[in-house]
């Protein structure tokens, strides 16, 4: 892709952005916090492209953006208190982690395989317009390459990811300029996962005292998060041939058989990333007691796939 255009918001450019998102492409757009690298949150492959474009060595759960609180309430299980928090701070720079509802359409890769999802209703008018037109959750981490500073102007996105996105919607400089506060309201006691413009004090007024994440402070880097999806079954890595009784998660062509799946028959790492969590879950729920996994190449998205597989294998 050549360097993508920076576009001012018009009826035409917003419709083009929605078309691009619906076809699985990436669109950068402004929010009040930072510019987001957006993809259809319900499309596993589109979300895999986010990780590929960012060059992130790990899959961390992404925030899904929606136009209004009602849309969020249809995707996640909000307690009465969580609803009060949502209504107090949305639209605004707060992301709320809740459990998925049954049949939640958000892709497993968006939540890095977790049963919980992070949701936010941004306050930026352009973001709101885009999300309302898209009429589906849009996953959007900051629109920078992994390890770089978050972009707060369209030009920053162009220099970081200009060749990776379909278009960059220009909404001027971001007013907040730091990432959203993240609060986990999925359990019995609220946890402050990341600090942002919505402060601890503002949240405590509504939910009471907030716990710190189990490991690492609230400002610990996202990749350091310890909570992640791990299958119940033992996982064995770098297996060319499973032993009888093992389910097999291959890469490339695999023999047809029960409890045998391939992350990508053609050896495509984007496809493999898109399938990873879904397939692990499918095999984990099969009537089998171990999962053998084929070697996955370490280049490109392979690094993030292998990182997750190693955690799944180690996590007992």
Q: Decide if residue 96 touches ligand AMP (CB under 6 A).
A: no
CA–CA distance, 22 with 1 (Å, rounded to integer)? 18
Q: Decide if residue 62 touches ligand AMP (CB under 6 A).
A: yes
- How many other C-beta atoms are found inside a 10 Å radius of the C-beta of residue 260? 16
Minimum distance between the CB of residue 180 and Mg ion, rounded to whole angstroms?
11
Residue 69 φ then ψ, to 5°: -60, -35
Mark 196-235 with x for binding to ligand AMP (rule: CB under 6 A) and - for no binding.
Answer: --------------------------x--x----------
Query: Of all residues in this chain, which one has the CB nearest to Mg ion in the complex?
Result: 142
Is residue 304 a contact partner of residue 59, using CB atoms and an 8 Å limit? yes
CA–CA distance, 218 with 197 (Å, rounded to integer)? 13
Torsion region of 210: left, alpha or beta (phi above 0 gives left; psi -120 to 50 gives alpha):
beta
Minimum distance between the CB of residue 266 and ligand AMP, rounded to whole angstroms?
29
**Crossing angle of helices 302-314/269-285, nearest 10°?**
20
Of 223 and 253, which CB lies nearer to ligand AMP in the complex structure? 223
Of 142 and 186, which CB lies nearer to Mg ion in the complex structure? 142
Stretch binding ligand AMP (CB under 6 A), from 59-67, 73-81, 86-94, 290-298: 59-67
CB proximity list for 179: less than 8 A, separation 6 or greater: 33, 34, 142, 150, 194, 196
Minimum distance between the CB of residue 114 and ligand AMP, rounded to whole angstroms?
4
Q: Decide if residue 32 touches ligand AMP (CB under 6 A).
A: no
Of 106 and 274, which CB lies nearer to ligand AMP in the complex structure? 106
Stretch binding ligand AMP (CB under 6 A), from 13-21, 56-64, 127-135, 197-205: 56-64
CA–CA distance, 47 with 115 (Å, rounded to integer)? 17
Binds ligand AMP by CB under 6 A, chosen from 92, 93, 137, 141:
141
Q: Decide if residue 38 touches ligand AMP (CB under 6 A).
A: no
Of 66 and 97, which CB lies nearer to ligand AMP in the complex structure? 97
Binds ligand AMP by CB under 6 A, chosen from 30, 38, 61, 242:
61
CA–CA distance, 237 with 301 (Å, rounded to integer)? 17
**Crossing angle of helices 269-285/44-54, nearest 10°?**
130
Is residue 169 a contact partner of residue 9, using CB atoms and an 8 Å limit? yes
Residue 293 contacts which entry, ligand AMP, Mg ion, none (Cβ below 5-8 A, type-dependent): none
């Amino acid at each position: 892709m050549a360097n993508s255009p920076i576009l001012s918001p018009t009826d035409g450019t917003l419709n083009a952005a929605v078309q691009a998102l619906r076809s699985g492409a990436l669109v950068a757009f402004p929010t009040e916090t930072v510019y987001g690298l957006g993809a259809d949150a319900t499309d596993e492959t589109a979300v895999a492209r986010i990780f590929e474009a960012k060059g992130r060595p790990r899959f961390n759960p992404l925030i899904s953006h929606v136009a209004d609180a009602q849309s969020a309430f249809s995707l996640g299980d909000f307690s009465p208190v969580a609803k009060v928090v949502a209504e107090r701070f949305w639209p605004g720079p707060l992301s709320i982690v809740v459990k998925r509802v049954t049949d939640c359409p958000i892709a497993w890769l968006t939540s890095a395989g977790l049963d919980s999802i992070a949701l936010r209703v941004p306050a930026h008018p352009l973001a709101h317009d885009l999300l309302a037109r898209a009429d589906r959750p849009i996953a959007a981490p900051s629109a920078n390459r992994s390890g770089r500073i978050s972009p707060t102007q369209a030009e920053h996105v162009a220099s970081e990811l200009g060749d990776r996105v379909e278009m960059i919607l220009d909404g001027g400089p971001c007013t907040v300029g730091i990432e959203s506060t993240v609060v986990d309201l999925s359990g019995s006691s609220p946890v402050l996962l990341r600090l942002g413009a919505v402060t601890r004090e503002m949240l405590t007024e509504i939910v009471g005292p907030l716990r710190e994440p189990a490991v690492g402070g609230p400002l610990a880097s996202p990749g350091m998060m310890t909570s992640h999806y791990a299958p119940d079954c033992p996982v064995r890595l770098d297996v060319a041939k499973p032993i009888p009784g093992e389910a097999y998660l291959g890469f490339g062509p695999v023999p047809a058989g029960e409890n045998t799946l391939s992350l990508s028959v053609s050896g495509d790492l984007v496809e493999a990333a898109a399938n990873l969590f879904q397939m692990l879950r499918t095999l984990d729920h099969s009537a089998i007691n171990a999962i053998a996994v084929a070697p996955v190449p370490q280049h490109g998205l392979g690094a993030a796939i292998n990182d997750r597989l190693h955690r799944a294998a180690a996590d007992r």
